[in-house]
Amino acid sequence: MIDPLPLLFALTGACFGSLTAAMAWRLPRGITVWGRSACPQCGRTLGVADLIPLLSWLVLRGRCRHCHAPVSAAYPLVEGATALFWNLCPLLLPDPLSALTMALLGTALLFLALVDAQWRYLPDAGVLLVALLALVPGRMEVGDCLSGGLIFGLLALGTRWLVSRHLGREALGLGDVKLMTAAGLWLGPFDLPVFLILSGLTGIAQLLLLRLVSRDTKNGVPFGPALCLSLLACVLLPIP
Ligand SMILES: [Zn+2]
């Protein structure tokens, strides 16, 4: 018999992807996350048929039903990526609670990476969710979890102070410090070296990629996406 859980996760993931894309659009613009969705061009409220993850965008060919203004392809991409990730979670982690925790972690990290890449800040609500998910019972010894958070947080705070003093401007945002503390809660104290190396390499790759597409990198690049990707890799992949 086919296990229905991966399909159930994929469908739920598509809905969470839709929510993630909407929150990443609304929150930085100060728009309430509770209101009904509306077309940003014509302002018409969107109905249920306009909000079915992936399908609505495909059926309407990426345009608003009312004013035919183009709707960003970022929406189906985020919805599809989230659905795929949620689908994989129960296949990788047979325990349903672990799979759900991982799926929610991936979604929160995607949200944080999207907002930081565009707006250069990491919303506290997203970082708090990452931290709370780390505290799900049975995942890790409480002592390891808390000492990881403390060590990662202090190290990030120290680095922020030192580098900012050296450069004469803010080098590592407070949001990055909070996210690194949450990463410490997830990874415990022993995975710190691997996380730091991976974050550094991902950050450099991101910088090179942005330079390649000729975006202005004189004022630095947001470090959040590199931290998010590295945390997810460290949690998912077995570290020797
Ligand atoms: Zn419209």
Q: What is the pLDDT of residues 17-31, one digit of tens each?
A: 999 999 998 888 888
215 CA → ligand 1 middle, Å: 30
46 CA → ligand 1 middle, Å: 9
62 CA → ligand 1 middle, Å: 11
Q: What is the largest CA-CA distance in the chain?
A: 63
55 CA → ligand 1 middle, Å: 17
Residue 24 CA, distance from chain mean position: 10
Nearest to 52 by CA among 44, 41, 60, 43: 60
20 CA → ligand 1 middle, Å: 21
Q: Is residue 182 scored above 80 in pLDDT?
A: yes
Read off the tokens for 59. Answer: 């059926």
CA distance 86 to 8: 9
Least confident span in 182-186, 219-223, 232-236: 219-223
What are 72-104's pLDDT values in tens digits? Answer: 999 999 999 999 999 999 999 989 999 999 999
| Structure-token match 């330079």, residue found | 211
CA distance 180 to 188: 11
48 CA → ligand 1 middle, Å: 15
pLDDT band (50, 70, 90) for residue 217: low
Residue 109 makes CB contacts below 8 A (sequence gap 6+) with: 130, 228, 229, 231, 232
193 CA → ligand 1 middle, Å: 49
Whether pTM > 0.85 for this model: the answer is yes
169 CA → ligand 1 middle, Å: 42
DSSP E strands, the chain: none
155 CA → ligand 1 middle, Å: 48
81 CA → ligand 1 middle, Å: 25
The SS3 of residue 208 is helix
27 CA → ligand 1 middle, Å: 20
Residue 5 makes CB contacts below 8 A (sequence gap 6+) with: 90, 96, 99
33 CA → ligand 1 middle, Å: 19
Query: Phi-psi category of 237—alpha, beta or left, where left has phi over 0 and alpha has psi -120 to 50?
Result: beta
Give the relative orientation of helices 5-26 and 96-119 as an angle to the nearest 10 degrees.
20
Nearest to 6 by CA among 109, 80, 86, 105: 86
40 CA → ligand 1 middle, Å: 7
Mean pLDDT, range 176-190, rounded to an integer: 95
What are 224-235's pLDDT values in tens digits? Answer: 999 999 999 999
Nearest to 115 by CA among 38, 20, 17: 20
